Structure 1
């Protein structure tokens, strides 16, 4: 297995106009590829001090439970600390993946993240996801 990330199948782009780090996932990655992908995302986020992320995972069909556990318990809290404020992640998902995610045991809705160093929410519409992130940006005391 190679640690190189297929490009342009996964792309991270910082949108200065929106103050949002956008990740576009063009395929379903093998979980073994994710450390390199998340390192690339970390590098981009730290370079821009980006705490507002839009992750377009509409082309993904499966949510790996061990990756989800790692994101929620280690990666997101660590990134919030490294970025010096609350981290917000809006996931843009397709209908089948969205249903799979919300039906998983332990699924936590966005409002349950109060008091945590990060918050996530899931959307089927990119405009709605960006609006949610912009609402979070209006409260600069994160």
Structure 2
């Protein structure tokens, strides 16, 4: 029922038992291809009703400011609108190198501060451990 979806830059898996869409990046591609894959990712989330996402970016060793700006200012607001009334919740699983970039690069620091701000109409947290990320996404009981 929930077969993996292979995209240019990532693979989408579904965990219906946890109601989590798992997206694992596997390669770097040009910005336009990444944006197209984000669109396909959102379409899959809409189709199957998944608003809790684990984004595994551990294979990425860099984050472009252009992509971070687009994701935070364009993609996430569109995703929030299209998934409503469900609240979008995103656990980002990062490598140590990428986490260091988020802390040391001024542009990345600004984008991360923006997306993790509680004032946003979505929830996003950064993780180094997949178990902790999945626990954070677990439904509250």
Aligned to 2:113: 108
| Alignment RMSD | 2.1
What's the offset of the Cα at 1:5? 4.0
With over 3 angstroms needed to count, the CA separation of the structure-2 counterparts of 1:120 and 1:102, relative to structure 1, is farther
8 Å Cα contact 1:28/1:61 also seen in 2? no
TM-score (norm 2): 0.83
Aligned to 2:98: 97
Aligned to 2:65: 65
TM-score (norm 1): 0.82
In structure 2, how many angstroms separate the alpha carbons of the residues matched to 1:34 and 1:66? 11
Map Cα deviations across residues 50-82 of structure 1 (whole Å, 9 max, x no partner). 111001111111101111111111211111111
8 Å Cα contact 1:20/1:51 also seen in 2? yes
What's the offset of the Cα at 1:28? 2.3
